[in-house]
Chain A
């Protein structure tokens, strides 16, 4: 049962434009959300996170938006750069889970073209 869904397997965007990645979740107990970036043959690298008490978190070119009522979050990258080409994973957790387990989405492959 996939509790975290990334319905777009791929996204192509022109350099300098905005990349918008979407993520939906089904479990209302999730209250902490993260985005990771992954290059081939490497482990995921943490990008940005958001707690359910917020609806927006910004860090440089990366902004995450959370819509709790819709159980939806999105990652905005602006401006997109060629080095942003990677697979992006959305992940969710419950802070009540003392083990900190993460549920991952299937990932979205982003390709930034010149």
Chain B
């Protein structure tokens, strides 16, 4: 089946640091990649949608300058949490989708802890 690789799986860093998370589709071309955030015991909250070669579309309430998304190729999207603070600590998950071919396939997520 389709494989989506997300890296790193766990990050611990100091407040004020910027953190980059990578999401790669390994065996298919992802026309669209999605970034989600999940708080403990809650659902997946869509943060943004990115299409290859174009600007990401952010959901209401998500700061685009805080969460920078780049989707430079059909197999790679990155999420950069800029100047991270403790309230940014969360579980971030990406998914990749080949347009017209459901379902979305998810990475294993990144646990981000800001001290």
A and B: bona fide binding partners: yes
Residues of A within 8 A of B (CB): 32, 34, 36, 41-46, 49, 89, 93, 98-102, 104-107
A-side interface mostly = loop
Pairwise interchain contact A100-B99, C-beta atoms closer than 8 A: yes
Query: Please, which residue of chain B has its CB at the minimum distance from the CB of A35?
Result: B103
Residue B114 at the chain A interface, CB threshold 8 Å? no
Q: Which residue of A is nearest B111, CB measured?
A: A41
Interface centre among B4, B42, B95, B107 (most CB of A within 10 A): B95
Please list 29 pairs of residues, one from A and one from B, whose beta carbons are closer than 8 Å in the complex, sorted by A's number.
Answer: A34-B102, A34-B103, A36-B106, A41-B91, A41-B109, A42-B109, A43-B6, A43-B95, A43-B106, A43-B108, A43-B109, A44-B44, A45-B106, A46-B103, A46-B105, A49-B102, A89-B43, A93-B102, A98-B99, A99-B32, A99-B49, A100-B97, A100-B99, A100-B104, A101-B46, A101-B49, A102-B34, A106-B42, A107-B42
B78 within 8 A of A: no
What 15 new A-B contacts, CB under 8 Å, besides A46-B103, A49-B103? A34-B103, A36-B106, A41-B111, A43-B6, A45-B106, A46-B104, A89-B44, A100-B97, A100-B102, A100-B104, A101-B46, A102-B46, A104-B43, A105-B43, A107-B43
* B25 contacts partner chain A, Cβ-Cβ < 8 Å: no
Task: Tell me the nearest residue of chain A to B95, going by C-beta.
Answer: A43
Nearest-CB residue, chain B, relative to A90: B43
Question: Residue B93 at the A interface, CB < 8 A?
Answer: yes
Contacts of B102 in A (CB 8 A): 32, 34, 49, 93, 100
Cβ of A67 to closest chain B Cβ, rounded Å? 21
Indicate if the CB atoms of B93 and A43 lie closer than 8 Å.
Answer: yes
Closest CB-CB distance, B107 to chain A, in whole Å? 5
- Let me know if B51 is at the binding interface, CB within 8 A: yes
A106 contacts which chain B residues (CB < 8 A)?
Answer: 42-43
Q: How far is the CA of A100 from the CA of B33 in the complex (A)?
A: 10
* Contact of B103 with A42 in the complex, beta carbons under 8 Å: no
